[in-house]
Amino acid sequence: MWRTLRLLLTRPGELTRRYLAGQRKHYVLPLRLYLTISVVVLLLIRLTLATGPDGAVKIDVNLDAQRGSNAFSLDIGGGRAGVQDGHFFCTGLPGWVCHRLQRRLDVDPKGLQREMQQWSQRVLGQIGGAMFVMLPAFALWLKLVYIDRRLRYTEHLVFALHLHTFWFLALALALPGLSALKGMAMLAVPIYGWLALRRVYGGRWWARLLRASVISLLYLMTLALVTVGLALWALLT
């Protein structure tokens, strides 16, 4: 594991290049590496968000306008829903979502409020599963953008697994308590991705910049859709 991590961190893209070249004996398999790192980092995130400095459990939710038990609200992807002054409101969300929330409020208002208060924890608990949507999508965008490389989809997926593993490691540096490293981690993400693309896919710098921009745009669009979908799922189920 340590040999694999050392190569992953110090030479962007080299682990993927060696794996695709058949040099796999001394390195952890891409999927196993990703699962190990992502599970550890997500566990750290949950522990960090669930406990305050004194160790007491707290709720980290985007709730506001709380005036006793009869007022609460929640922001979801630009939309908002909740209860204010005893009246249900829902703006910026699809009509069917508002209708379902209102029905649940009519049936069990306290239950809905309780679920809204637990919303962030439910979303966080599903991030790992959501990444199994993001990873294949990212590999697909790589396949489409680098179609001239004649690489198989699974080979692009290996690159995606290694890159996302690094992103999770960078995310760990941005956790509360390591705020001094947050700026470094945010800067490392694009630089690492750029160097990894150069080592694995090659190409002129301007062409690589154009391809990276297209991939980033497609990935961000996919991320936005998955995030909103996950947020709605956590609230409505």
Same domain for 144 and 105? no
Same domain for 17 and 47? yes
Q: Which two tokens stand for residue 101?
A: 């929330």
Neighbour-count burial for 113-134, b at 16+ CB within 10 Å, e otherwise: bebbeebbebbbeebeebbeeb
Same domain for 113 and 219? no
Which neighbouring-strand residues pair with 76?
79
Higher pLDDT residue, 133 or 55? 133
Same domain for 74 and 172? no
Q: Does 63 fall in a domain?
A: no
User: Can you give the residue range of the structural domain that contains 90?
Assistant: 68-117
| Residue 71 CA: distances (Å) to CA of 2, 20, 59, 81, 87 | 51, 56, 16, 11, 9
Structural domain count of the chain = 2
- List the single range of 69-78, 169-178, 204-213 with lowest mean pLDDT: 69-78
Same domain for 141 and 217? yes
Same domain for 128 and 225? yes
Higher pLDDT residue, 45 or 26? 26
Q: Does 229 fall in a domain?
A: yes
Neighbour-count burial for 84-95, b at 16+ CB within 10 Å, e otherwise: eeeeeebeebee
Same domain for 134 and 193? yes
pLDDT (average), residues 22-34: 91
pLDDT tier at 124 (50, 70, 90 boundaries)? low
* Residues making up the chain, counted from first to last: 237
Same domain for 83 and 174? no
How far is residue 202's CA from residue 197's CA, in Å, rounded to a whole number? 7
Same domain for 105 and 186? no
- Tell me the CA end-to-end span of the chain in Å, nearest whole number: 38
Q: Closest Cα to residue 135, out of 106, 111, 164?
A: 164
